[in-house]
Amino acid sequence: MFEPKWYQSLGLEDIAAKVRDGVRLSLEDGERLYRCPSPLAVGALAHQVRTRCHGNRTFYVLNRHINYSNICVNGCLFCAFSREAGAPGAFQLSLEDILGKLTEPEAAAITEVHIVGGCHPDLPLAYFETMLREIRRIRPHLVIKAFTAVEIQHFADREKTSVGAVLARLQAAGLELLPGGGAEVFSPRVRRLLCPNKLSGAGWLAVAREAHRMGIRSNATMLYGHLESHRERLEHLDALRCLQDETGGFLCFIPLPFQPDHTLIENARATTGVDDLKTIAVSRLMLDNIPHIKAYWVMLTVKVAQTALHFGADDLDGTVIEEKIGHMAGAESDQALTRSQLERLIRDAGFEPVERDSYFQPVARPDQTEAAPARHHPCP
Amino acid sequence: MLDQALKTKVEGHARLNLDEAWQVYAQADFHWLGLQAHQVRLEKHPEPVVTYVIDRNINYSNICVCGCRFCAFFRPPDHPEGYLLSQPDLAAKIDETLALGGTQILMQGGHHPGLPLGYYEDLLRFIKRHAAIHVHAFSPPEIVHFSKLNRLSVGEVIARLKQAGLDSIPGGGAEILVDEVRRKVSPNKCGSDEWLAVMEEAHHQGLRTTATMMFGHQEEPIHRLEHLFKLRDLQDRTGGFTAFIPWSFQPGHTAIQREPEGAVAYLRLLAVSRLVLDNFDNLQASWVTMGPKIAQMALFFGANDFGSTMIEENVVAAAGVRFRLSLDEMYRLIEAAGFRPRQRTMDYRRVSGKASYTG
Report pLDDT digits (tens) over B311-333.
Answer: 877 777 777 777 778 889 999 99
Expressed as residue numbers, the domain containing A11 is: 4-50
- pLDDT category of residue A375 using cuts at 50, 70 and 90: very low
- Mean pLDDT is lowest, of A68-72, B185-189, B255-259, B266-270, for B255-259
Instruction: Decide: residue B110, CB within 10 A, 0-12 exposed, 13-18 middle, 19+ buried.
Output: buried
Distances (CA, A) of B318 to A27, A193, B213: 48, 42, 19
CA-to-CA distance for A45 and A283, rounded, in angstroms?
A: 11
Question: Which pLDDT score is estimated for B359?
Answer: 41
- Identify the domain containing residue B141 by its residue range: 19-343
Question: Is position B30 within any domain?
Answer: yes
Residue in chain A lying closest to B37 (CA):
A40
* pLDDT reading at B144 higher than 90: yes
**Average pLDDT over every residue of A328-347:** 84
CA neighbours closer than 13 Å in the CB half-sphere of residue B244 = 30
**Closest alpha carbon to A115 in A155, A184, A64, A166:** A64
Residue B348 covered by a domain: no
Asked whether the beta carbons of residue A303 and residue B338 sit closer than 8 angstroms, the reply is: no
Same domain, A36 and A184: no
Which residue is closest to B339 within chain A, CA to CA? A37
**A375: in domain:** no
Q: Let me know if residue B277 belongs to a domain.
A: yes
B335 reaches A (C-beta below 8 A): no
- Whether the per-residue pLDDT at B336 is higher than 60: the answer is yes
- The answer to whether A301 contacts chain B (CB < 8 Å) is yes
Q: Reply yes or no on whether the pLDDT at B185 is more than 70.
A: yes
Q: Looking at this predicted complex, what is its ipTM?
A: 0.92
Q: Is residue B177 part of a domain?
A: yes
Nearest one of B351, B321, B194, B302 to B248, comparing CA atoms? B321
Count: domains in chain B: 1
Q: Determine the residue of chain A that is closest to B293 in CA distance.
A: A273
Q: What is the pLDDT of residue B278?
A: 98
Same domain, A207 and A244: yes
Judge whether residue B176 has pLDDT over 90.
yes
Number of domains present in the structure of chain A: 2
Q: What is the mean pLDDT of chain B?
A: 94
- pLDDT tens sequence across A241-260: 999 999 999 999 999 999 88
A-chain CB neighbours of B259 within 8 Å are 341, 344
Tell me: do A36 and A163 sit in the same domain. no
Instruction: Judge if A34 and A147 occupy the same domain.
Output: no
Note whether residue A37 is domain-resident: yes
Q: From the list A3, A273, A302, which residue is nearest B297 (CB)?
A: A273
Q: What is the CATH number of the domain that holds B251?
A: 3.20.20.70
Residues A117 and A25 in one domain: no
Question: Does any CB of chain B come closer than 8 Å to the CB of residue A276?
Answer: yes
> Per mean pLDDT, which range of A362-376, B219-233, B282-296 is the poorest?
A362-376
Residue A367 lies in a domain: no
Shared domain check, A122 and A30: no
For residues A222 and A283, membership in a common domain is answered with yes
A141-150, A329-338, B114-123, B299-308 — which is least confidently predicted? A329-338
Instruction: Name the minimum distance, in Å, from the CA of B252 to any CA of chain A.
Output: 14
Angle at the Cα of B262 from the Cα atoms of B256 and B266, rounded to 5 degrees: 105
Q: How far apart are CA B247 and CA B225, in angstroms?
A: 14
Asked if A8 has any chain B CB less than 8 Å from its own CB, the reply is no
Query: Does A371 score more than 50 pLDDT?
Result: no
Preferred mutation among B293, B329, B330 to probe A, highest tally of A CBs within 10 A: B293
Tell whether A76 and A146 lie within a shared domain.
yes
Of all residues in chain B, the one with the smallest CA distance to A272 is: B293
Give the residue-averaged pLDDT of A194-209: 97
B8 belongs to a structural domain: no
Alpha helices (H) in chain A, listed in sequence order: 4-9, 13-21, 27-35, 39-54, 95-103, 125-138, 149-159, 163-173, 188-194, 201-213, 230-247, 273-286, 297-300, 302-308, 325-328, 339-348
**Band (A2; pLDDT cuts 50, 70, 90):** low
pLDDT digits (tens, 9 = 90+) for B90-128: 999 999 999 989 999 999 999 999 999 999 999 999 999
Asked if B259's CB is within 8 angstroms of A44's CB, the reply is no
Task: Kindly state whether residue A379 falls inside one of the protein's structural domains.
Answer: no
Q: Is residue B297 part of a domain?
A: yes
Task: Residue A159: give its domain's CATH number.
Answer: 3.20.20.70
